[in-house]
Structure 1
Amino acid sequence: MTAPATKHAKQAGSFLVIGGVAFLVDALTYNALVFWVTGHGPMFAQPIWAKIIAIVLASVVTYVGNRYWTFSDRHLPHKWSRYVAFVACNLIAIGLQLGCLAFSRYVLGLDSVLADNISGTFIGQALATVFRYLTYDRFVFREDAPAPAR
């Protein structure tokens, strides 16, 4: 493999590993809040809010992991615009996940553990992950050229 291809493969691989960890955080948090052990958790009647909480926790994992592992080789000075881009990208990604869950719950009338996990966790997170991968590289963790030495 060429150097750029190797770099891209490493970047994609670490992005997927971090996404896997975030997936677990999302799924475990959501299922604990909505279904718990008894089948009706404390937020069973508020699945959208439970999903928002789960996604926010998972988003923290993705930011830290991608900033310090996936894109660790990039010169990324602290800028407010980077955080704004992260929040904007994640709001759209959250919309993708919530849209899948809401469609399943409120249009199809499905509210089982299996239905919620297929729609909100698997399908929704898959769409959101692809969106994040495309946007993080371009907008959130875009490499800034280091300032020239004087």
Structure 2
Amino acid sequence: MKHRARPSRLTLLIHELGKFGVVGALAYVVDVLVSNLCHSQFHMEQLTAKTISTIIAATVAYIGNRKWSFTHRARTGVRREYTLFIVLNAIGLGIALASLGFGKYVLGLQGALAFNLFGNVIGTGLGTVFRFWAYKRWVFLHPDHPRAVSGPANQRSARVPEPAGR
């Protein structure tokens, strides 16, 4: 029987970052398209457009991260995970809105370029760094975390090994 070595923490981090990046890229495209559609076609105020697009993109990101990016991590239940996911995305949205508001209200920059630069590049970029850290810390837990084995979703065993190659 061939024994597979467990991946190193760095290898696992690289795989998670890569998958998180792919899911994030898809969610980013959804965010940018929806925010621009809401703002330019439906004439919504910039902060409202960004809020709506972030909610839709966050749902896309949750599904992708739960089903693919962090699939090897322990489960603690959809209700707990999604609630935390939404709270953390609200903080990420606050980061994006603060950036957008800074560009618009402090610097006085208007127009599509400023909207996209401050709302969809800088704000989303800073929010993404926060979200990756926060998801790993609070939403998609390591299998050894005490909460990971306390919920009904993880009654298989007290320790769930992380598969090699993920």
Which TM class, normalised by the smaller chain length? 0.7 to 0.9
- Check whether the contact 2:38–2:49 (CA below 8 A) recurs between aligned residues: yes
Deviates more, 1:77-86 or 1:7-16: 77-86
Residue number in structure 1 paired with 2:155: 147
1:136 and 1:8 map into 2 onto residues whose CA distance is 13
Residue number in structure 2 paired with 1:138: 137
**C-alpha offsets along residues 46-98 of structure 1, whole Å, 9 cap, x if unaligned?**
11111000100110011001000011112214153323221221111110001
| Structure 2 runs not aligned, ≥5 long | 1-5, 143-147, 158-166
Larger Rg: 2
Residue number in structure 1 paired with 2:97: 98
1:35 and 1:61 map into 2 onto residues whose CA distance is 22
The code of the aligned residue for 2:54 comes to I
Task: Tell me whether 1:6 sits opposite 2:7 in the alignment.
Answer: no
CA RMSD of aligned residues (A): 1.7
The code of the aligned residue for 2:43 comes to P
- Check whether the contact 2:58–2:86 (CA below 8 A) recurs between aligned residues: no
Please identify runs of 4+ aligned residues in structure 1 that moved more than 6 A. Answer: none
Q: TM-score, normalised by structure 2?
A: 0.79
Residue number in structure 1 paired with 2:161: none
The code of the aligned residue for 1:88 comes to V
2:123 and 2:130 map into 1 onto residues whose CA distance is 11
| Structure 1 runs not aligned, ≥5 long | none
How many positions carry a matched residue from both structures?
142
- Check whether the contact 2:50–2:97 (CA below 8 A) recurs between aligned residues: yes
Q: TM-score, normalised by structure 1?
A: 0.87
- Check whether the contact 2:30–2:53 (CA below 8 A) recurs between aligned residues: yes
Q: Check 1:79–1:55 CA distance in 2 against 1; reply closer, same or farther (3 A cut).
A: closer
1:60 and 1:74 map into 2 onto residues whose CA distance is 19
The code of the aligned residue for 1:147 comes to Q
1:60 and 1:84 map into 2 onto residues whose CA distance is 11
**C-alpha offsets along residues 3-47 of structure 1, whole Å, 9 cap, x if unaligned?**
1222211110000111111111111111111123xxxx421xx11
